[in-house]
Structure 1
Amino acid sequence: MKPYLIIKRILDCFFASILIIITSPLMLAALILIKLSSTGPILFRQKRPGKHGEIFIVLKFRTMSLERDAAGDLLPDIERMTRVGSFLRKSSIDELPQLINVLKGEMSFIGPRPLLVQYLECYTPEQARRHEATPGISGWAQVNGRNAISWEEKFKYDVWYVDHISFVLDLKIILKTIKNVLIRDGINSSQNATMPVFKGTRIEN
């Protein structure tokens, strides 16, 4: 293990503890707004693959309603996004519960974003290398486009991060994350509330 990874874990625990205390009034406000604006659980919980593909439960504030169509299927994401949820997502407040994931060691502040379990079988061997690092609340792909870039571009950024992880790089990502949150840059792609489903990378002969 690289010496920095040990330091990174210590810093994660320290700053996650501090931020949970500092942001507790903000999280309480978000909790109340979600409860008042729509029915359903306050937290969104979903299985995600972590380091080495090990499954954990990621936590986020719920940003969508649970509305369904006549067949009982959930409506498209963009139709279910609530006004409160849109604000929480644009301000990245919806990510705050992941501080608990950081404390538990399931996530780090910086690393490739944890994606859906079903994507595991869709990755190329090179793309799967993104799981060599602990997933993060923010990452190199997030500060270079987030939902505004293609899946293939995201994975290239993720693997590049795995190969170049360092304190200086993490600090750079943190500063760029703060800047992007303040100017709300790269939050969503132009046509989707969330990224389209990843179905694998087409490899040309």
Structure 2
Amino acid sequence: MYKYFFKRVSDLFFSMIALPFWFIILIIVGSAIYFEDKGSIFYNSPRLGKNGRIFKMYKFRSMKMNAPDIRNEDGSTFNAEDDPRLTKIGKFIRKTSLDETPQLLNILRGDMSLIGPRPDLPEDIKKYSAFEKNKLSVRPGVTGYSQAYYRNSIKGKEKFKNDVYYIENISLIFDLKILLKTIFSVVLKKNVFK
């Protein structure tokens, strides 16, 4: 019952409570991004959603305008503290995970959930095994099991495995544990960069 009904209700409830506070973050962070290099304050990326539907995921832009797309060997996005593509405000919002807060809008739109597998790029569907495709049976999350416990310290295949483990064990208690662990990881700034 939680997985199919109350999870969505709780997403909407917490999102509506968080929305006024997020507008304050939007004004402060958005202004800092814009005045640093006069570009767009948002970075919108196509992502795989529930049932393979592609949606636009919102983030605060942390890189300079028109920064090149650099990937790791496993195809994941390159992510390092000394990345020259990052702006000054970008380094700060990455470390504090404030860059992810616009995904509150994705939750309200029904694209995402507060807790779930992190959404992959559309081309990543080609990498999924039949088992890993199960991650598309639920809405992706702003945070999830892999992000809470490992953040950026594990490779793609391990993340896929953890995503399916989460889906097979969804419960209110599990979601609360992930949420608390996420807060702990963000506060300690653990495994932010690869």
Q: CA deviation at 1:40?
A: 2.0
Residue aligning to 2:16: 17
Residue aligning to 1:5: 4
Residue aligning to 1:125: 130
| Cα shift readout 1:6-45 (whole Å, capped 9, x = no counterpart) | 1111110111111111232122100000001123211111
* Contact kept? 1:47, 1:56, Cα under 8 Å: yes
Residue aligning to 2:75: none
Unaligned runs of 5+ residues in structure 1 are: 69-73, 190-205
**Structure 2 residue matching 1:148: 3-state secondary structure:** coil
* Contact kept? 1:111, 1:161, Cα under 8 Å: yes
**Structure 2 residue matching 1:125: 3-state secondary structure:** coil
Q: CA deviation at 1:140?
A: 0.3
* Contact kept? 1:133, 1:162, Cα under 8 Å: yes
| Cα shift readout 1:59-88 (whole Å, capped 9, x = no counterpart) | 0000001256xxxxx274622111110110
* Contact kept? 1:39, 1:65, Cα under 8 Å: no
Please, what TM-score do these two structures have when normalized by structure 1?
Answer: 0.85
* 1:118 aligned partner, one-letter code: E
* 1:89 aligned partner, one-letter code: R
* Contact kept? 2:48, 2:55, Cα under 8 Å: yes
**Structure 2 residue matching 1:85: 3-state secondary structure:** helix
What is the CA–CA distance in structure 2 between the aligned matches of 1:182 and 1:149, rounded to whole Å?
A: 20
CA pair 138-75 structure 1, distance change in 2 beyond 3 A: closer
Q: CA deviation at 1:4?
A: 3.7
- RMSD (Å), alpha carbons: 1.4
| Cα shift readout 1:79-100 (whole Å, capped 9, x = no counterpart) | 2111110110110111111001
CA pair 75-130 structure 1, distance change in 2 beyond 3 A: closer
> Which of 136, 144, 150 in structure 2 is aligned with 1:139?
144
What is the CA–CA distance in structure 1 between the aligned matches of 2:54 and 2:44, rounded to whole Å?
A: 12
Unaligned runs of 5+ residues in structure 2 are: 71-77
Question: Which structure has the larger Rg over C-alpha atoms?
Answer: 1
Residue aligning to 1:37: 36
